[in-house]
Chain A
Amino acid sequence: MALLELKNVSKHFGAIHALNDVSLSLEPGRIVGLMGDNGAGKSTLVKIVAGNFRPTHGTMQMEGQDLSMHRPIEARRHGIEIVHQDLALCDNLSAAANVFLGREIRKGVGPFKILDYAAMYRRAGQIFAELRSETRPRDLVRQMSGGQRQAVAIARTRIADAKIVLMDEPTAAISVRQVAEVLNLMRRLRDRGIAIVFISHRMPDVFSIADRVVVLRRGRKVADKDVAASSPEEVTGLITGAIEYA
């Protein structure tokens, strides 16, 4: 059964039709590569799933239940997490502090609660081990490599026990070696049964990790097929419009 089902979703900003009649289904433990040129509607689609925008038309269902979200916090309550392109990390805080930012573990009685450093270090350490990352919970994010920073951002989604993780261009601005690291992190998430939407411009990354590729062009979905049944050449054609539909 589909985890999240978007049916005929459109988003209009006045006269601009950013997204037109797009249907999409996400399944647990599967990675969907979302591709398209700038302005094709990728961000709009992601922002609808993340609860930033409400669709103008169309419906969304999560595990068979109708889903109507007004704010990002509601998406998070439904187990939808986003890993931002800039990762949204505080350089001056430790890895563990970043992982738990906004969801700190505290101990104490009544209104007198203090941060439970030990518990947060322990849990963050477990998650990094689970992701097989060398990130250490006590290290400052400022001192970390691109791959370790990604691990911190991804660890956040594990704290939330997310069912769906939206990854916004996680491999856009990092070195080749770190790309491999990030793709491995995504595999770990997938192995845990999490549905991943992988937004990317990079053809090799999408073809090496995604199960399905979805292509948007001018707000319309022009392809939605297994990666094995497609090719980088075809997807390039679909993105540019050389191929109308596949």
Chain B
Amino acid sequence: MDIQFDDNIKRARFPLLTWLTSRQAFWVLVAVILACIFLSFATNSFATSNNIYNVARNFTFVAIVALGMTIVIITGGIDLSVGSVLCLCSMILAVVMHAGYSIEVGIAASLGTALLIGAINGVLIAYLGIPPFVVTLGMLSIARSLAMVASNNTVVFQFGPDHDKLLFLGGGALLFGIANPVIYMLALTLLTGFVLHFTRFGRYVFAIGGNEHAAIVTGVPVRRTKVAVYMISALSAGIAGVIETGWLGAVTTNLGSGMELQVIAAAVIGGANLAGGIGTAFGALIGSALIEVIRNSLGLLGISAFWQGTFVGSFIIIAVAFDRIRNFRSPE
């Protein structure tokens, strides 16, 4: 009772501050900024425009997929297939364009594949009631295998008549020298944030994660919403796949392997709750940024890259522990 009373006073006096400090994404942002400041002084290569450009571009792929993953996690689900779906979509794009079709056809085929896979995941989860973990684990295997089938397990690096367009799409810098993937990422983050906060669909996503039974009895179209959510997740992997193909200029069948864990880590560090009901688009972005800054800094500080997993793993646990501690303090 006393704690609640104090909270109310604090809320009344510094509403913005209270709101900010209650946000996990805010603290992760602080961590990112502190790390950047530290690295700027500790190394003479971090704060160079070249390195910043690389850091910004490198985490976009994880961040874009993490946006879709965050929506899935908010509903209380999980999508383990995103890494493989990214690979399959890249491969479909590469194979279609290599066969002489235009970039538009390639992208349509690629994103169409993503939506189809997402729909299959969603229907199996929502209508047949198979746990998301199982369905998407199966799809993780299927999608990568299909990528191998589509390319006969070769590397594709020639993309037909629209080769240069594709490379510009992923590797160019359209506005003010900002790498294209960064622009896509920012646009998609704003779009995701808007959808989650201002649309009825977004409201349903949170409701399903908060109390699925309540959502059902109040007439929320739970099944349809879930199918849409897994389609969005696969689509985000597809979009990241298309962009990454343009950036790398080549596709191999091990593209995006193990990526699902990085993406889930980014979403969770950014404040998405694996139990469902909580998560933000901005958090997905910041979580991904933190992982990339860690990765980058280890290299610059001359620490072996083998330590990367230790740092990222620790951050996942610390982020969730923070959340726990906050919950202990708030009265039931």
Chain B residue contacts of A91, Cβ below 8 A: 210-211, 277
B219 touches A88 (CB 8 A): no
Chain A residue contacts of B209, Cβ below 8 A: 92
B207 touches A88 (CB 8 A): no
A90 touches B217 (CB 8 A): no
Task: Bits for A74-113, please: 1 = Cβ < 8 Å to B, else 0.
Answer: 0010000010101111111100011001111010000001
Contacting chain A: which of B96-104, B197-205, B312-320?
A: B197-205
Bound state CA distance, A84 and B203, in angstroms? 21
Chain B residue contacts of A97, Cβ below 8 A: 203, 206-207
B277 touches A73 (CB 8 A): no
Task: Bits for B216-230, please: 1 = Cβ < 8 Å to A, else 0.
Answer: 011110000000000
Closest to A117 in B: B198
- Residues B181-218 near A (CB distance < 8 A): 198-200, 202-203, 206-207, 209-211, 213-215, 217-218
B217 touches A88 (CB 8 A): yes
Chain B residue contacts of A86, Cβ below 8 A: 213
A88 touches B198 (CB 8 A): no
Closest to B74 in A: A92
B278 touches A102 (CB 8 A): no
Chain A residue contacts of B214, Cβ below 8 A: 87-90, 98, 101
Known pairs A88-B213, A90-B206, A92-B210; A101 contacts B218 (CB<8 A): yes
A103 touches B217 (CB 8 A): no
B-side interface residues, number (CB < 8 Å): 21
- From B4, B206, B219, give the contact of A103 (CB < 8 A): B219
Closest to A72 in B: B217
A90 touches B207 (CB 8 A): yes
Closest to B278 in A: A92
- From B198, B207, B215, B330, give the contact of A114 (CB < 8 A): B198
- Residues B260-312 near A (CB distance < 8 A): 277-278
Task: Determine how close the nearest CB of chain B comes to the CB of A95; give it in whole angstroms.
Answer: 13
B199 touches A115 (CB 8 A): yes
A90 touches B210 (CB 8 A): yes
A104 touches B203 (CB 8 A): yes
- From B200, B215, B219, give the contact of A90 (CB < 8 A): B215
> Is A30 interfacial (CB-CB < 8 Å)?
no
Bound state CA distance, A104 and B197, in angstroms? 13
Bound state CA distance, A114 and B202, in angstroms? 10
Closest to A142 in B: B330
Closest to A88 in B: B214
> Is A156 interfacial (CB-CB < 8 Å)?
yes
Closest to B208 in A: A90
Q: Which residues of B contact A (CB under 8 A)?
A: 4, 198-200, 202-203, 206-207, 209-211, 213-215, 217-220, 277-278, 330
Q: Which residues of A contact B (CB under 8 A)?
A: 72-73, 76, 82, 84, 86-93, 97-98, 101-104, 106, 113-115, 143, 156
Show 20 A/B contacts (Cβ-Cβ < 8 Å), sorted by A.
A76-B219, A88-B214, A88-B218, A89-B214, A90-B206, A91-B211, A92-B278, A93-B206, A93-B210, A98-B214, A101-B207, A101-B218, A101-B220, A102-B220, A104-B200, A104-B203, A113-B200, A115-B198, A115-B200, A115-B202
Complex A-B, nearest 5 residue pairs according to Cβ-Cβ distance, in ascending order: A90-B210, A92-B277, A88-B214, A102-B219, A102-B218
